[in-house]
Amino acid sequence: MNAKTHTVLCVDDEPNILRSLQRLFRREPYRLLIAHNAAEALELLERHPVQLVICDQRMPDMNGITFLNQVKSRYPNIIPIILSGFTNVEAITESINRGHIYKFFLKPWDDRDLKIEIRKALEHYDLVQANRALNRQVVEQNEALRQINEKLEQAVRERTRVLEIQNQALELSHAIVEDLPIPIIGVSAEGLIVLVNRRLTSLHIRGRRIEVGRKLTDYFPNPIIAGVRSVLSSGDSRTIAPGHIPGQPYAVDITPLSGKFQGKGVILAMRDPHPASKPL
């Protein structure tokens, strides 16, 4: 807190003591409030933010220790200092030990010492408030970090669930392609065979079983190769009539991949051009 915003409340039933304190603190960089008794002081505390209270111990309506105990319970951040013209040290020491009183000064006081101690007390107040603000900031940042981590964990869980669904769909898609009753071949734009299903493995073209990783040209004649290139270029499906594969009575349907895989590959489906009719 900036020193110019500090407010000190002086409480004493003796007007000459209050005047002395006013003269003493006149050039100090904080605002000064005065009260002639505890009741007046409590009313001022309700209306003004105060950082430090200097109170006389011996007052007619309420002694200083009792008054400062009330201040501490209502305004725990205020620094309480007590002045006393008599040496009831035991009661005051007990209050200091309990934390109800920050410091104790005997009347008459040394002006220089009192001013120095008030400045130190207000510096202590500022330090405590700064530490509390820093702690609050740390707590808020930790809470924000916790919420970020929770959101990240939730996002990871959702992403994991999506991936699991996609993996299941992919596995099911592979199973469907694998169990199709017609031979299927997946070919990349570079002419490499990247997929074959179970039905295709029973076929032998040019005396060899079709294998993933080999070139399409290893098995199929030029009309099929030209058809694949045409489909990749145009994006339109095409059927190659039977008779172009020696020894195999199949028509070949060439279908381009779509979406983000457009132009990157085709599917070859080999089917019997004259399937036997079956009654319903």
CA distances from 146 to 57, 153, 226 (A): 50, 10, 60
* Homologous superfamily (CATH) for 3-134: Response regulator (3.40.50.2300)
- Tell me the domain boundaries of the chain: 3-134, 179-271
| CB 115, CB 28: distance < 8 Å | yes
Q: Using one digit for the tens of pLDDT, what is the confidence trace for 96-133?
A: 655 567 888 888 888 999 999 999 999 999 999 999 99
State the pLDDT at residue 84: 80
pTM: 0.55
Please name the residue ranges forming H helices in 25-60: 38-47
The secondary element (H helix, E strand) that includes residue 10 is strand 7-11
Tell how strand 79-84 and strand 7-11 pair up: unpaired
Domains 3-134 and 179-271 share a fold: no
State the pLDDT at residue 278: 45
Q: Over range 61-81, report the average pLDDT.
A: 90
The secondary element (H helix, E strand) that includes residue 239 is strand 238-240
Q: Using one digit for the tens of pLDDT, what is the confidence trace for 93-104?
A: 665 655 567 888
| DSSP class of 191 | S
- C-alpha 8/C-alpha 26 separation (Å) is 12
- C-alpha 265/C-alpha 190 separation (Å) is 8
The secondary element (H helix, E strand) that includes residue 80 is strand 79-84
| Angle, CA 72 vertex, CA 70 and CA 78 arms, to 5° | 130
Nearest to 103 by CA among 85, 88, 87, 120: 120
Which listed CATH number (2.60.40.10, 3.30.450.20, 3.40.50.10610, 3.20.20.70) goes with 179-271?
A: 3.30.450.20
